[in-house]
C-alpha cells in the first residue's frame, strides 16, 4: 500500500525567506508525484508534478527516489503563497493518496 507523509502540519515563515515543505512517500512501484495547493476559499488545484520538472510560481520540487522524498521549495516566499499544500501520489492503476497537508503562512 502507498503512503504519503507530510510531517509538518503548520509552517510559518517571513516574507522573503526560503521555504521548504516536506513530503515523503512509500510505494513499491514507480509513482507519479504531485503538489496541490488550496488557497483560501478556492478549490484545490495542481501546483506542479514531478514528471514536468517545471517551476510554477517560483516553486520547484525534485523527486529523490533514494530518500523517497518530493519536497517543495521556494527560495523567497511571498505572502500570496499562504495556503494549504498537499503532496499526492498517483499509481499507474489510478489510485491516489494525499498527505495530510501543510498549512503555510507567510508573514509580512
Partner 1 sequence: NAGVMQNPRHLVRRRGQEARLRCSPMKGHSHVYWYRQLPEEGLKFMVYLQKENIIDESGMPKERFSAEFPKEGPSILRIQQVVRGDSAAYFCASSPGVTATGELFFGEGSRLTVL
Residue 70 makes contact with partner 1 by CB under 8 A: no
| Among residues 27, 86, 104, 106, the one that binds partner 1 under rule CB under 8 A | 86
| Among residues 71, 101, 104, 106, the one that binds partner 1 under rule CB under 8 A | 101
Residue 26 makes contact with partner 1 by CB under 8 A: no
Where does this chain touch partner 1 (CB under 8 A) — which range of 15-23, 58-66, 71-79, 99-107?
99-107
For residues 84, 87, 92 and 95, what is the CA-based torsion angle, rounded to 10 degrees? -60
Question: CB–CB of 19/73 below 8 Å?
Answer: yes
Residue 45 makes contact with partner 1 by CB under 8 A: yes
Residues in contact with 91: Cβ distance below 8 Å, sequence separation at least 6, in sequence order: 2, 27, 29, 31, 32
Amino acid at each position: 500500500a502507498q503512503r504519503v507523509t507530510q510531517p509538518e502540519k503548520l509552517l510559518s515563515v517571513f516574507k522573503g525567506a526560503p521555504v521548504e515543505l516536506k513530503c515523503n512517500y512509500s510505494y513499491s512501484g514507480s509513482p507519479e508525484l504531485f503538489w496541490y495547493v488550496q488557497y483560501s476559499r478556492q478549490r484545490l488545484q495542481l501546483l506542479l508534478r514531478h514528471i514536468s520538472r517545471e517551476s510554477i510560481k517560483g516553486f520547484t520540487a525534485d523527486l529523490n527516489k533514494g530518500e523517497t522524498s518530493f519536497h517543495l521549495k521556494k527560495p523567497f516566499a511571498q505572502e500570496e503563497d499562504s495556503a494549504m499544500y498537499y503532496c499526492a501520489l498517483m499509481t499507474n492503476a489510478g489510485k491516489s493518496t494525499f498527505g495530510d497537508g501543510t498549512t503555510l503562512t507567510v508573514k509580512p
